[in-house]
Amino acid sequence: MISPTFVFLHALGSSHREWELVCRHLGDVPCIALDLPGFGERSDEGYADVASMADDLADEIRRRRLTACILVGHSMGGKIATIVASRAAAGEAGLAGVVGVVLVAASPPAPEPMDEDRRTQMIGWFEGGSITQADAETFVKANIAAPLPPELHDRAVADVRRSSREAWLGWLERGSLEDWRTAVGCISIPALIVAGAEDGDLDEDAQRRLNSPHYHNGDIRVVANAAHMIPYEQPAALAQLIADHAASVAASILPAGFVTILGSDRVSRRTRTAMLERTRPVSDDSLGWSDAQRAMAKALVAHILPEDVDPSDLARRVEAAIIKGAGDGWRFADLPRDPEAWQLGFATLDELSGGFVSLDRPDQGTWLERIDAGETDAQGEGFLSPEQMALWFQDVRAEVVRQWAALPSTMAAIGYDGFAVGGDGPRNQGYHRTGANDVEAWQTLQEKIA
């Protein structure tokens, strides 16, 4: 299984050092903790606005050629992570490897909620050009639920003190107040949204109101005995949540070579967006079958496709396609419209078999063979005829295979690269070599990197 790279972004007044304990608890996995402009080892760069910080992160992902990464953003860094995730979900070139997001006490795309007296106080701390030791300690103590061990306390205070005045004031006076809600929209990339149980302005309620609506697949978790500085306060608990999120998105990770081609200028943004969308979980609002019907669909998928295919995921994709009517516009004339045909097909299959899902696999296979041959006949109204059932089962197989073949994971497995013949430039790049087994250099990239 491919292990994603974690890309960490820190909070206001912090640096990459706040993630050291979290990375240690994550163990032997690739971790990249970055300093944002104006903080940590980049304190001499001054203030970079929100758009520039997002560009900075996107460029770093491209520079490192990350083909499977999870963005982890704390507080200020959370707003930047969400903006870049929205760009990745929208098919921006070079960002196809963003497979997950973790928001830790994150600033939202909306203006960040903050008590204005406290904002004024924090701005005043840099009035003389730099923050004093006492004020830096006040800032740290205000953001923790309990005193930190001396070493961590000193590290956190030192990072506050070396923050650029321009960056500190720029975030408080402008960046935190910028409204990115429309630009970000609702993102399909799965997200873990973490709040400290004793946080103030960015607690669980704020995360539900301000960050959760921007993610189709967002899971909110609360860390006990923590306020705002969760990476320092509860690094082990946070690391476990991050690891669990990584495991939940593992199935969406594609081979590195395939992602490199998908993210290249040979693929149009529209195509890239559509393909990446197929790697995301199916949202529940696309579904409408009963649990019994869903179980039958899962059993049918298991009979139609190879054993290494996840029948639950494919069944949900088929269900969403049928419910939403996103088919190919074709159907058998002797069958009703797809949503009704599938409902009748399920009912008929259950009536014929006496409960299809309850049968063992060989008996299920026998019934499907009889249906395919037109040898069955359910009694009563509300069922399909033998001829209709045979047609319906043909349609079932076609739809299941169609959904499976459309998955990028399937394309990667069979070495299909026919999607990489366009791009958004002035010409469609296509193929120059068309003979059997005569491949081009860009086509072998999958094999070289995967």
> Angle between the 338-353 and 311-324 helix axes, to the nearest 10 degrees?
130
The model's confidence at residue 286, banded by pLDDT at 50, 70 and 90, is low
Q: What is the pLDDT of residues 388-425, one digit of tens each?
A: 999 999 999 999 999 999 999 999 999 899 999 888 88
| Segments making up each domain of the chain, as ranges | 5-252, 256-277+409-449, 284-406
**Is residue 448's pLDDT more than 60?**
no
Most confident range, picked from 32-36, 253-257, 440-444: 32-36
Higher pLDDT, 431 or 417: 417
pLDDT of residue 46: 87
Burial class (CB in 10 A: 0-12, 13-18, 19+), 58: buried
Which pLDDT does position 370 carry in this prediction? 95
Question: Distance between CA atoms of 57 and 434, rounded to whole angstroms?
Answer: 39
Q: Torsions phi, psi of 101, nearest 5?
A: -135, 140
Contact in structure between 70 and 102 (CB atoms under 8 Å): yes
Contact assessment for residue 65 and residue 95, using Cβ atoms and an 8 Å cutoff = no
- The reported pLDDT for the residue numbered 362 is 95
Question: Among residues 300, 403, 402, which one has the least CA distance to residue 342?
Answer: 300
pLDDT of residue 447: 55
- At 302, the pLDDT band (50, 70, 90 cuts) reads very high
Q: What is the pTM of this model?
A: 0.92
Model pLDDT, residue 449: 55
Do residues 14 and 156 touch, judged by C-beta distance below 8 A?
Answer: yes
Q: What is the CATH number of domain 5-252?
A: 3.40.50.1820
The 10s digit of each residue's pLDDT in 338-385 is 999 999 999 999 999 999 999 999 999 999 999 999 988 776 778 999
pLDDT tens for 211-253 read 999 999 999 999 999 999 999 999 999 999 999 999 999 999 9
Q: Judge whether 370 and 376 are in contact, CB under 8 Å.
A: yes
Spatial contact of 248 and 220, defined as CB atoms under 8 Å apart: no
Please tell me the predicted confidence (pLDDT) of residue 324: 85
Biggest alpha carbon distance in the chain? Answer: 89
pLDDT, residue 224, reads 98
Query: Per residue in 395-426, is it b (16+ CB within 10 Å) or e — as a string?
Result: bbbebbeebbeebbbbbbeeeebebbebbeee
- What residue type is assigned to position 131 of the chain? I
Q: What is the pLDDT of residues 109-156, one digit of tens each?
A: 999 999 999 999 999 999 888 999 999 999 999 999 999 999 999 999
Question: Residue 436: which pLDDT band, with cuts at 50, 70 and 90?
Answer: confident
Q: How does DSSP classify residue 91?
A: T
What's the whole-number mean pLDDT along residues 39-59? Answer: 96
Q: What is the per-residue pLDDT for 215?
A: 97
Mean pLDDT computed over every residue of the chain:
93
